[in-house]
Structure 1
Amino acid sequence: MNNWEAKVINEIANLDNILFWHKIVERKGFCINGCINHYPDFLIRTKNDNTLLVEAKGDDRDNSDSARKLKMGRAWAAKAGNAFRYFMVFDGKEVEGAYRLEELLKVVGGL
C-alpha cells in the first residue's frame, strides 16, 4: 500500500459509520471485468449495509486508464443495486466524476 492509499483508507476507516474495510490485492482479489480488469484498492462495508469500492489515485500516477476505470466502476455500482457504490479519489487532480478526499469523506460519512 502506498502513502496515498494508506491516507485514504485511514481517513475512511475513522468515520463513525464504517464497519470494516479490506485491501483488494491486485490481480488476485475482486476485480471489475470489462474492457480492462479493474482491481479497485478497497472494499468497504458501512454499518448501514452499504458496500463501497474505492480506487485511490495518487497524482504521481500516469492515470491514462482512469476514465475507463471510473466508467466501469459506475456501471458496476448501477447494476449491483442501491446498496453498492464506486468512488475514485484523487489527491490533487481534478478529474470529472472523481472525488477529492475531503468530498469523499463527506459522502461516505453519510452512507
Structure 2
Amino acid sequence: MTTIQEDRAIAELAWLANTMLSYGPLIPDSLAVMLRAYKAELQQPREKWGAFGPPHRYGEIAELIEQRIKDGEWAPGTRIPSADVFAETYGSSGRTAARAIHMLALKGVLVFERRAYYVT
C-alpha cells in the first residue's frame, strides 16, 4: 500500500515531467529523453520499485548479465564483452551498460584487470 504522501509526490512528479515536455523545442533533447524515461518509470507497477523509487535500467541489465554468468555462458576467468556490446544487446546507452558492469564488479561477480572485466 502506498501512502497519500507518496501518491501525491508521484502525481506531482508526473505533472512536472508533462509540463517540462510541453515546452518542446525549448528544452534540450537529452533532457526530453530523460523526462520521457522517468515518466515511463513512474507508470510501472509499484511492486517493482525499490526502497528509493523506480528501478534503474542499469540494475536490470546487471541482473541479466549475472544470470548469463550463472547459466555458464562465461566461465570464471573469461573476459566478458565490452559495455558497447551489452548496450547494443539490451538497447541501452553505453554509459548505462558500463554502470551495470561496474555494479557487478562492486558485487564481486566481475574483476577489472588489464583494461577489461573478467568473471570471478
TM-score band (shorter)? Answer: under 0.3
Is the helix fraction higher in 1 or 2?
2
Is the strand fraction higher in 1 or 2?
1
| TM-score, normalising length: structure 1 | 0.28
| TM-score, normalising length: structure 2 | 0.26
Larger radius of gyration: 2
Relative contact order higher in (CA < 8 Å, ≥ 6 apart): 1
